[in-house]
Amino acid sequence: MLDYVTDKVQDESRQGEAFAPFAGDLNHYKKRFYIESYGCQMNFADSEIVASILHNEGFGATRNIGEADLIFINTCSIREKAEQTIRKRLTEFRKLKVQKKDMLVGVLGCMAERLKSKFLEEEKLVDIVVGPDAYRSLPGLVAEAEGGQKAVNVLLSREETYADISPVRIDSNGVSAFVSIMRGCNNMCSFCVVPFTRGRERSRDPDSIIKECRDLFEQGYKEVTLLGQNVDSYYYQPAVDSPQSAVSGPITFSKLLERVALISPILRVRFSTSHPKDITDDVLHTMAKYENICKYIHLPVQSGSTRILQLMNRTYTREWYMAKVDRIRQIMPDCGISSDIITGFCTEEEQDHNDTLDIMEYSRYDFSYMFFYSERPGTLAQKRYKDDIPEEVKKKRLVEIVDAQNRLSLASNKKDIGKSFKVLIEGDSKRSEKNWTGRTSQNKVIVFPKENYELKKGDYVTVRVKDCTQATLLGEIA
């Protein structure tokens, strides 16, 4: 249990997922590639961009690693454990490469960016190293590697948003899709390696975002999740000479959200992730105004102690965060709230830990991702503070935090018993084809019998909650 929670990554179920093949005969592609992705949703979205770039150059995707000419691994550096998982996977690729000499192995994403050409020295059988802003150069790098050179591009960019690239969505459930709206992060949370691996923040052209969302809707998708490291600081200033500039001025996140919501009332809109300091009343009012903007906010607190928050450089205090939670509940009483929590940060004392437990209680999180602190090379915390909390203490505190969250999740689900929710059907439930699984606006998973209704995935249906577990609501069609 502990191992699980200690490296609980966002969307656990997808870690290491491989890309599905394109339809049709693989033989007509010049090369076959295989991609496996780790880490955050942004990485999964990036793999879809990489697949699109490779596909346009005549490469075909395969899910069978044995038939691949190119193996890519899209990597995560957020915690040490994530990097260990990836290194283990690379040793497995190495064995394959010994058997198949002309196969190439490429490392993409945050670990590529963090380690740069050091990767090639450390992992002798890696041929290609590409950072998150350099995916357009992949076809050229593959050619270089085929010519026997070690191919590296880890240049970060201030502009790259891949705005014009249509991600390939072979692996999705056909109902919900992720749309990247910005890249990078300008916050300098002292524990976080992301600003170093993903570079400066930049926002994608809103017209390309709207077009992508509209195309998805026309293809039958019913839900888009707008993705960025810190979506609330989305800001796009149209070029001075563009006709758009005169009409609309700069586009903030709330304006963007509204434009996406207006595509269709039956297209649900979600977003992730928010930084508490940046989520504005404008955003909250826009959420409240449109029924199809889901009433759910992922609002990572990281710690409940003002002293620790300061060391983390989160730029808010405990009270400020609590006031933000109040504000959300005031504007949207039915809004779901979830969080990320780091336990055992440098100098954390029992009192700080209790403050975290207390703020969890106050915020009544429906759900949290909980981690113990993992020191990352190059971060401000690594340079300034000592990682001084013993492993056993971190683990003990993490267990307490997980227990508290389990209680809160159960209490929140129990409160829903007897209520009815509009649910977007995502597909068969994992356990039985006789049941549907879907989500409420508040992002809670709900499972219910299909009965004899003529429904299909992508449909909306009203479901009454009859029972629950800590993780799932159980209902029946109302």
Applying CB under 6 A, the residues found at the interface with ligand 5AD are: 78-79, 191-192, 300, 302, 340, 342, 371, 373-374, 376
Among 128, 194, 209, 269, binds ligand SF4 (CB under 6 A): 194
CA 180 from centroid of its chain's CA atoms: 10
Residue 192 near ligand SF4 by CB under 6 A: yes
Identity at 443, one-letter amino acid code:
N
Q: Are 127 and 107 in contact (CB under 8 A)?
A: no
Can you tell me which residue has the tokens 């955050």?
40
Q: How far apart are CA 433 and CA 453, in angstroms?
A: 14
Q: Are 294 and 444 in contact (CB under 8 A)?
A: no
Our CA angle for 197, 201, 203, nearest 5°, is 130
What phi and psi, each to the nearest 5 degrees, are found at residue 340?
-115, 140
477 pairs with which residues across the strands?
463
Residue 229 near ligand SF4 by CB under 6 A: yes
The two structure tokens encoding residue 367: 């759900």
Residue 75 near ligand SF4 by CB under 6 A: no
Select 230 or 286, whichever has its Cβ closest to ligand SF4.
230
Among 45, 86, 134, 185, binds ligand SF4 (CB under 6 A): 185
Select 300 or 475, whichever has its Cβ closest to ligand SF4.
300
Smallest distance, ligand 5AD to C-beta of residue 79, A: 5
Q: 87-93, long-range: CB within 8 Å, 24+ apart, which pairs? A: 87/123, 89/16, 89/36, 90/123, 90/125, 90/126, 93/125
Taking CB under 6 A as the rule, which mask of x and - marks residues 256-295 in contact with ligand SF4? -------------------x--------------------
Residue 308 near ligand SF4 by CB under 6 A: no
Which range binds ligand SF4 by CB under 6 A, 31-39, 182-190, 286-294, 409-417?
182-190
Residue 370 near ligand SF4 by CB under 6 A: no
CA 278 from centroid of its chain's CA atoms: 18
Our CA angle for 219, 108, 131, nearest 5°, is 105
Select 275 or 324, whichever has its Cβ closest to ligand SF4.
275
Residue 343 near ligand SF4 by CB under 6 A: no
Identity at 67, one-letter amino acid code:
E
Which range binds ligand SF4 by CB under 6 A, 149-157, 185-193, 237-245, 392-400?
185-193
* Residue 356 touches which member of ligand SF4, ligand 5AD, none, C-beta under 5-8 Å by kind: none
Q: How far apart are CA 188 and CA 382, in angstroms?
A: 13
Smallest distance, ligand SF4 to C-beta of residue 187, A: 4
Binding site for ligand SF4 (CB under 6 A): 185, 187, 189, 192, 194-195, 229-230, 275
